């Protein structure tokens, strides 16, 4: 019998890569003993990423969810791991150092064993504090490489990052192949080099199925010395998610590795429970296109989980763009035409933007710029005329050092707009904030919670936490679910639809409207009669836990506002009408 390889079930990521929500606390507690009964998992990914935001959006306490969800695995001797985004913690934008430090103490106390920490830019400076704070809290630190494919992202490039995180004291290395575009042979070489230089380091491979490389990548990584492989299971395996444990177990067994047996009776029970959760309500939020693989992702390098949102984006602008083409006497475009244009645009601008690995949130930034460029081109306008603030932060270095070199045209545009590049340590730009949140909790008479876990949730997800405490979150979710059920039955929506020749700001996809994201920094919401200039932010739409800026393509005056702060829009709805 050959070397042993163990499996980790990425149950959190299975849901996040499929749709918008994850199971409720009661559902997680129901399936946990069945996953244990399967007998083949040494690790379970239980939380992190958007997991706790989702609980808040339900109106559930996320701290209760993590404690209840990890408890049975802790008792069974199965390690639990979370995903966190280094500088961004478990949200989409930077987190102060004192809040990051508290996160590990809270998660360890709640039963989470391993902190999988990644920086979307592979900036080792962002990972240094993650490693320090995780180990300080008694967690296993798993420093993570964001895998992508380019002339820059070589084995040598990644080994430079590995050298740094090992110097900082990481216990393990994870290869996070979030788009599944890592080439199998290259990944095998990377694992081999890590093991050769640092034989004591445990290596875990995480690869999505999207473009179709992942099974070959898993075999190459296994042969090169990987210790753990992340897997999924039906009905949420494959597609844009992860390969199924049954296939990977059979493949590795045939290759001579020692792998755990699968209790198939328990597998089928867990499969049935997951399907029951989908039938209950979760299926309403799963895009069926995520059930398919797509080789179109090989060149663009975009994560498979973004396919659904990209198609929604294109549907949202398709009609309006074709109306413009018709008025210009030009041939109209199919959605496939637009999709190819979008992929081509991503391929073109990615190196111009410094080759950021296309992982959350940087994949969203690159995709948004590409989409706006495509729309501008169809209108006969130039590229890069509209770039949102979050994307500028990435370009300017505020999130970390870009792997590649910015194109001269991007540098010149930044200088023309008076923007300053940042070369310091990213964390230094975000001062401590816990005292501010302590005061808010005291003023409101809120309990800090066991191990300060409630304080942590407010500091990490302040707006969602306030909505949870007020009961607004539960009401919004119930309203959203009702709307999804009605749409599934084919009932028409109540929102206004675009008309030819009108200056309409249209929702590119479904999500919640927010005119203000920061509780402490005033962001003026638009009002009737306001003058709007091209490139001005109208609002944000929250979708799949990102907050995308909705930018006006027109100059005009606000004539109608169709949605209130916190309302849910469907793709194609008019948010604001200008005159």
pLDDT tens-digit map of 268-309? 999 999 999 999 999 988 877 777 888 877 877 777 555 555
Q: How many beta carbons lie within 10 A of that of residue 206, not counting itself? A: 26
Q: What is the pLDDT of residue 544?
A: 53
Q: What is the pLDDT of residue 494?
A: 47
Confidence class for position 510, pLDDT limits 50, 70, 90: confident
Domains of the chain, by residue range, sit at 6-285, 299-429, 503-578
Average pLDDT over residues 155-164: 98
Q: What is the pLDDT of residue 492?
A: 47
The yes-or-no verdict on residue 522 having pLDDT over 60 is no
Q: What is the pLDDT of residue 520?
A: 32
Q: Do the Cβ atoms of 515 and 523 come closer than 8 Å?
A: yes
∠ CA(424), CA(427), CA(432), 5° rounding? 130
Please identify which residue in the block is written with the tokens 């194609």. 572
DSSP three-state, residue 402 = coil
Most confident of the ranges 167-171, 418-422, 469-473: 167-171
Top CATH class of 503-578 equals mainly beta
The yes-or-no verdict on residue 523 having pLDDT over 70 is no
Mean pLDDT over each residue of the chain, to the nearest integer? 89
Q: What is the pLDDT of residue 560?
A: 86
- pTM value? 0.84
What is the Cα–Cα distance from 108 to 451, expressed in whole angstroms? 10
| Residues across the chain | 579
Q: What is the pLDDT of residue 564?
A: 80
The yes-or-no verdict on residue 486 having pLDDT over 50 is yes
Q: What is the pLDDT of residue 397?
A: 94
User: What's the topology of domain 6-285?
Assistant: TIM Barrel (3.20.20)
Residue 450: both structure tokens together: 């066991």
Closest CA to 48 of 94, 8, 104, 123: 104
Closest CA to 577 of 532, 513, 524: 532
> What is the 3-state secondary structure of 104-141?
HHHHHHCCCCEEEEECCCCCHHHHHHHHHHHHHCCCEE
């Amino acid at each position: 019998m050959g070397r042993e390889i163990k499996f980790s079930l990425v149950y959190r990521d299975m849901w996040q890569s499929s749709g918008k929500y994850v199971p409720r606390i009661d559902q997680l507690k129901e399936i946990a003993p069945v996953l244990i009964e399967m007998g083949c998992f040494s690790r379970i990914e239980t939380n992190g990423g958007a997991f706790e935001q989702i609980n808040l959006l339900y109106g559930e306490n996320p701290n209760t969810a993590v404690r209840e969800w990890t408890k049975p695995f802790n008792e069974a001797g199965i390690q639990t791991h979370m995903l966190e985004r280094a500088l961004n913690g478990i949200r989409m934008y930077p987190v102060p150092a004192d809040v990051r430090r508290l996160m590990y103490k809270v998660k360890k106390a709640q039963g989470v064993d391993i902190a999988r920490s990644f920086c979307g830019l592979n900036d080792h400076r962002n990972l240094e504090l993650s490693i320090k704070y995780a180990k300080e809290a008694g967690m296993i630190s798993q420093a993570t490489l964001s895998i992508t494919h380019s002339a820059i992202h070589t084995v040598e490039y990644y080994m430079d990052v590995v050298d740094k995180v090992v110097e900082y004291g990481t216990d393990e290395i994870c290869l996070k192949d979030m788009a599944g575009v890592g080439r199998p042979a290259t990944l095998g070489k990377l694992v081999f080099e890590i093991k050769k230089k640092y034989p004591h380091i445990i290596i875990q491979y995480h690869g999505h199925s999207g473009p179709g490389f992942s099974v070959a990548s898993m075999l190459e990584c296994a042969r090169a010395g990987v210790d753990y492989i992340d897997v999924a299971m039906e009905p949420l395996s494959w597609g844009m998610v992860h390969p199924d444990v049954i296939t990977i177990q059979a493949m590795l067994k045939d290759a001579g590795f020692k792998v755990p047996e699968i209790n198939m009776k328990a597998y089928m029970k867990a499969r049935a429970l997951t399907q029951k959760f989908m039938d209950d309500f979760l299926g309403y939020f799963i895009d069926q296109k995520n059930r398919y693989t797509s080789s179109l992702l090989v060149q663009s390098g975009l994560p498979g989980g973004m396919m659904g949102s990209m198609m929604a984006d294109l549907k949202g602008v398709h009609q309006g763009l074709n109306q413009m083409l018709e008025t210009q006497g030009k041939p109209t475009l199919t959605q496939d035409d637009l999709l190819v244009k979008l992929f081509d645009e991503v391929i073109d601008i990615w190196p111009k933007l410094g080759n950021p690995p296309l992982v959350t949130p940087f994949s969203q930034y690159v995709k948004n710029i590409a989409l706006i460029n495509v729309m501008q081109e169809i209108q006969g306008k130039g590229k890069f005329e509209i770039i949102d603030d979050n994307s500028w932060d990435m370009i300017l270095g505020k999130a970390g050092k870009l792997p590649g070199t910015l194109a001269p045209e991007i540098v010149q545009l930044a200088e023309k707009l008076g923007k300053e590049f940042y070369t310091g340590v990213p964390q230094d730009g975000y001062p401590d904030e816990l005292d501010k949140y302590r005061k808010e909790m005291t003023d409101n008479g809120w309990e800090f919670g066991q191990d300060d876990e409630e304080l942590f949730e407010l500091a990490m997800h302040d707006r969602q936490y306030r909505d949870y405490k007020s009961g607004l979150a539960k009401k919004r979710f119930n309203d959203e679910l009702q709307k999804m059920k009605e749409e599934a039955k084919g009932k028409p929506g109540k929102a206004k639809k675009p008309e030819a020749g009108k200056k309409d700001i249209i929702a590119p996809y479904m999500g919640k409207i927010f005119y203000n994201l920061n509780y402490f920094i005033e962001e003026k919401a638009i009002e009737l009669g306001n003058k709007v200039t091209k490139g001005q932010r109208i609002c944000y739409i929250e979708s799949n836990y990102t907050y995308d800026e909705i930018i006006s393509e027109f100059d005009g005056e606000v004539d109608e506002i169709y949605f209130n702060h916190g309302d849910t829009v469907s793709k194609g709805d008019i948010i604001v009408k200008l005159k």
